[in-house]
Amino acid sequence: MLDTVKPSPDLTGFTRAEYDINGVRTVVHTIGRGPALVFLHGTGTFTGFEMARDWAKRHTVIIPYHAGFGESGDADAIDTIEDHVLHYMDLFDKLALAQFDLAGFSLGGWLAAEFAIRQPQRVRKLVLVAPAGLVVPSAPAPGLFEIAPQELPAYLAHDPVAALRYFPKAPDPGFDARLGREVTGFAKLIRSEPQGNPKLANWLHRIAMPTLVLWGAADRLRPTAQADAWRAGLRDARVTLVPATGHLVFEETPAAAQHVIDFLAD
């Protein structure tokens, strides 16, 4: 099974564009036609964006790489969540996105929530997939460097094989460097508080748009119990748990992409 590993995401069919956003080279991939759906990725981009192909049947799916992640350039000045949100405000202005649906996974979910707090008028509907960022003392996430490398697949997926297929079968310094760069980028964002933003819960009430909180029922990396804390803080939220699924919701259970389609169509 591991013989078919592709360490780099397959972006066949996506359109690639580069933008200079306040001096930061920002790469955006787009696929599909229809109302705009922006997707903000998680810490590791190596799993790709296959779920976007399903969404693209009804939406123009816009996937930017965060500054310092994937194909986007580094930016020493962008090292807080606030910096990333302001960067995305500039990017969305550049793309002339007045209103759109917004989805984010893990780190991207945290960014999506923080963006929706600041510019709620631009977000029609919000999708948070196993989001990071909310500090939940009763259900803390494991520390970023507490997980041994050999244990990581079991944290990413309920069935570790579902995660292993995204890793190279032999030593690959290039893959390690790309992943290390992104993990380092995330580490900068949690240097003050490893669990996220202690003030985030205070401002969730500003997210008034309909919100889907989607989570793997067996998530060990971002404990599923955190979903209740998100639901309690959001004004109009529904929680959907995907059975027998870990953190990589769409990769382990591709059918979960349909939950997003159905929610956006309501």
Secondary structure element (H or E) that encloses residue 164, with its range: helix 160-164
Q: Is the dihedral of CA 191, 64, 169, 247 positive or negative?
A: positive
**DSSP category for residue 169:** S
Q: How far is residue 266's CA from residue 259's CA, in Å, rounded to a whole number?
A: 11
Residue 183 CB neighbours (<10 A): 13
Q: Which residues contact 242 (CB under 8 A, 6 or more apart)?
A: 214, 215, 216, 217, 249, 253, 256, 259
Q: How far is residue 84's CA from residue 44's CA, in Å, rounded to a whole number?
A: 16
Tens digits of residue pLDDT in 149-203: 899 999 999 999 999 999 999 999 999 999 999 999 999 999 999 999 999 999 9
Q: How far is residue 36's CA from residue 43's CA, in Å, rounded to a whole number?
A: 23
For each of the chain's 266 residues, which pLDDT tens digit applies? Answer: 233 333 468 999 999 999 999 999 999 999 999 999 999 999 999 999 999 999 999 999 999 999 999 999 999 999 999 999 999 999 999 999 999 999 999 999 999 999 999 999 999 999 999 999 999 999 999 998 899 989 999 999 999 999 999 999 999 999 999 999 999 999 999 999 999 999 999 999 999 999 999 999 999 999 999 999 999 999 999 999 999 999 999 999 999 999 999 999 98
Q: pTM, whole model, 2 decimals?
A: 0.96
Tens digits of residue pLDDT in 25-48: 999 999 999 999 999 999 999 999
Q: How far is residue 99's CA from residue 122's CA, in Å, rounded to a whole number?
A: 4
